[in-house]
Amino acid sequence: MSLIDRILDLAALPASDLPAPALAMARLSLFDWLVCGRAGTGEPLSGKLRQLAQAEAGTSTASVFGGAPAPARMAALVNGATSHALDYDDTHFGHVGHPSVAIFPAALATAEEVDASAQAVVEAFLVGAEASVRIGMALGAVHYNRGFHQTATAGAFGATIAAGKILGLTREEMRAAIGLCATRASGLKSQFGTMGKPYNAGIAASNGVECAKLAKLGFTSADDGLAGAQGFLPTHSDAPDAQAGWDRPPPETFLFEDIKYKLHACCHGTHAMIEALLTARRERPDLSLDGIESLHLRTNPRWLAVCDIKTPRTGLEVKFSYNWLAGMVLSGKDTARDDTYSDALAADPELGAFAGWITVEGDASLTDMQAQGLLKLADGTQLPIGHDLGRRLPEDELATGLRNKARALLGNGGEVLWQGLEGLATLSARDLGRHTGA
């Protein structure tokens, strides 16, 4: 079976076929996405995009984080970028992308426009997210390593499918929407460390709304814009594998269940190192920067082009710097609070001096979720460190971690939001939109 037919089958799955564990994770992702979006409203890029939204004409039917309602496509753009502004949202390592920030904005904006239910938003998101992971796996690591941002590329297809589910596209209309997305999807890793990275997520969400709505209007496109001749896969990957990830097809298996949540406000590629160093600090409470002679870190090679900024110039770039983050952890700075990552931190002389004692090496034997290394102390002690983010945590443990994160970002508003989503089955998409805090 071709990839496009597999994706169309996935897109056509009825709600009754969606597995309960995957839906449970999708509901956690909804909460986490809303938290990240509300917490990101004060970021400069969020304000600039709200200004852009206010300057555009159109029917304002969809909610915007921190601002007035806007047309669905523009709301998706603003909400996608705003919720990724802090780089604190979920990650799926099957393709190394952030599903929620690309797909929930498209699903919610479209659902508000047609007055769908909140449950329909979650179900459409889940199907779109699953499709984005599987398309991302088909593109392969070479796509990401070549410089494409999977959140924006594979994510745009997920956003298109989610919006198409909400609009009730037929199979042929969904095929057309996916084909249109193939000529629209874009996003480069060269934007990392700038406002362009969260903008990539907004672009994906906006593209999803646009492509789904055009398909609904009867707009035509290539029969197989995804994997056909000169389609997205063959033009955007040197080694596409249309069968990758399909040994366990849905509905029996949803790869989305392996979604990972951030409990540190920085690039997810650094989290295994952070957890390893936190473990070392718990085991050796006396650890301090002046007592460490060197740190040699091994990580998957793909992260070297993402989060190995040796000398960050801004607080935002610190989020992508192994060297700075290691010093922060070992000196007791709180990596969970976004306000820790200030421009002044990038100029911290103690962290700058310690960064010179750190070496980072790519190790292809490690997965994207693993980090290993060696701390050498001034007294001659050598401490091996390591952590694997791949261990799946129980749902209640995840919920507790996300609620704690929400309180750190939103104060009491985080718990109010959690309680407001407990009756999700009775809410409409417009009710859900009110939780954006607009």
Note the pLDDT of residue 57: 81
Contact between residue 261 and residue 268 where contact means Cβ atoms under 8 Å apart:
no
**pTM of the shown model:** 0.87
Q: CATH 1.10.4100.10 residue ranges in the chain?
A: 3-260+395-434
Note the pLDDT of residue 338: 84
Q: CATH 3.30.1330.120 residue ranges in the chain?
A: 268-388
Contact between residue 289 and residue 350 where contact means Cβ atoms under 8 Å apart:
yes
**Burial of 290 (C-beta count, 10 Å sphere; 0-12/13-18/19+):** exposed
Contact between residue 406 and residue 414 where contact means Cβ atoms under 8 Å apart:
yes
Note the pLDDT of residue 307: 94
Burial 328-356 (b: 16+ CB within 10 A, else e): bbbbebebbebebbeeebbebeebeebbe
Burial 32-64 (b: 16+ CB within 10 A, else e): bbbbbbbbbbebebbeebbeebeeeeeebbbbb
For 275-405, strand residue ranges (E) read 292-299, 358-362, 370-377, 382-388
Spatial distance between the Cα atoms of 159 and 99, rounded to a whole number of angstroms: 9
Note the pLDDT of residue 437: 82
150 CB contacts (<8 Å, ≥6 apart)? 95, 96, 97, 136, 139, 143, 144
Alpha-carbon torsion angle 394, 398, 399, 405, nearest 10: 170
Spatial distance between the Cα atoms of 129 and 423, rounded to a whole number of angstroms: 23
Question: What class has domain 268-388?
Answer: alpha beta
Note the pLDDT of residue 401: 87
Q: From 1.10.600.10, 1.10.4100.10, 2.60.120.1130, 1.20.1250.20, which CATH number describes the 3-260+395-434 domain?
A: 1.10.4100.10
CA torsion sign for 395, 396, 397, 398 is positive
Please state whether beta strands 292-299 and 358-362 pair in parallel, antiparallel, or not at all (unpaired). Answer: parallel
Spatial distance between the Cα atoms of 6 and 320, rounded to a whole number of angstroms: 36
Spatial distance between the Cα atoms of 267 and 270, rounded to a whole number of angstroms: 6
Note the pLDDT of residue 1: 87
Residue numbers in the chain where pLDDT is lower than 50: none
Q: Which of 55, 98, 63 is nearest to 200 (CA)?
A: 98
53 — alpha (psi -120 to 50), left (phi > 0) or beta?
Answer: alpha
* Coil/strand/helix, residue 52: helix
Contact between residue 232 and residue 180 where contact means Cβ atoms under 8 Å apart:
no
Note the pLDDT of residue 438: 57
372 CB contacts (<8 Å, ≥6 apart)? 276, 297, 298, 363, 366, 384, 385, 386
